[in-house]
Amino acid sequence: MDASKSRELKKFATAIRIETMKQLKERGFGHAGGALSVVDLLAVLYSGVLRIDPKNPGWDGRDRLVMSKGHAGPSVYATLALKGYFPIEWLLTLNKPGTRLPSHCDRNKTPGIDMTTGSLGQGMSTASGLALAFKLDGKDNRVYVVIGDGECNEGQIWEGALFCAHHKIDNLILFVDVNGKQLDGYTDDIMKMGDIAAKFSEFGWNTQSIDGSDVEQISEAIESAKKVNGKPSCIVMKTIKGAGVKEIEDTMHNHHINISAEMADRAIKDLNELMASY
């Protein structure tokens, strides 16, 4: 990847973080940690990886993104608004009465959301079904699904892993956001998952492990996964919960937190300075 492309991806990720923090400032609370940890992935996916048309969100030929960890909705909404799916002013209605941007992703409310999610584990099943349906119909649509490391506590994830490998669903790419925390604390303290990449490999998946905050590594891993035939692909991403906002990174229980206007303003100021440096 050349330096200019890398810079543009980092700028886009920073813009997503800024708009995410503006939403959380307006609401005063939210799922900050897990929303921020997947921002770099979203920047890559929506910068040429996903086959999409923001002017026609329901286009049948589009690729599908299933954000199984649906509480990352604020960063997904920021990304969609920046891509032109809906007016950016909508972002300030996050999780308010009558909003089209609920706390968790809802395909019936938000243009650009392909699957309703939030009940952890279920996005793995719906993504698997979408991908298999495309293969059975002879279509070349791809499905991308994002799960969390805490979400891997769900047995439904591993049923999906078996299903995809058995049916050779090679038009599906799974991302595991390994930020080391879940709602109640550290994942290793709640239910130690061991080597997640090794587990998926044993289940018959093509598997890679990368730095999930590195846009170049994310891009390269996706391109590599696309070349694999006959098996699904899993990209395990080592991330930081709250990535890009130091105060949130340093907050122990940062799954869902109160966001003061002062904290948000400090973060937005720092992010704007970072944006100006690119």
Per-residue pLDDT of the chain (278 residues; tens, 9 = 90+): 899 999 999 999 999 999 999 999 999 999 999 999 999 999 999 999 999 999 999 999 999 999 999 999 999 999 999 999 999 999 999 999 999 999 999 999 999 999 999 899 999 999 999 999 999 999 999 999 999 999 999 999 999 999 999 999 999 999 999 999 999 999 999 999 999 999 999 999 999 999 999 999 999 999 999 999 999 999 999 999 999 999 999 999 999 999 999 999 999 999 999 999 99
Query: Is 106 in a helix, a strand, or coil?
Result: coil
**Short-list 168, 179, 191, 215, CA closest to 49:** 215
Can you give the pLDDT at residue 19?
Answer: 98
Cβ contact 68:121 at 8 Å: yes
**Domain of 71, in residue numbers:** 3-277
Can you give the pLDDT at residue 59?
Answer: 97
Phi, psi of 223 (to 5 degrees): -60, -40
| Helix (H) / strand (E) containing 218 | helix 215-226
- Provide the token pair at 243: 């990535």
Question: Which CATH number do you get for residue 136?
Answer: 3.40.50.970
43-76: b (≥16 Cβ within 10 Å) or e? bbbbbebbebebeebeeeebbbbbbbbbbbbbbb
Strand-pair category, 181-182 with 172-178: unpaired
Can you give the pLDDT at residue 263?
Answer: 97
Rounded Cα–Cα distance for residues 212 and 227 (Å): 20
As beta bridge partners, residue 206 has: 233
Our count of domains for the chain comes to 1
Can you give the pLDDT at residue 1?
Answer: 85
In the block, tokens 């439904």 appear at 156
pTM listed for this prediction: 0.97
Find the Cα–Cα–Cα–Cα dihedral 118, 119, 124, 130, rounded to 10°. -70
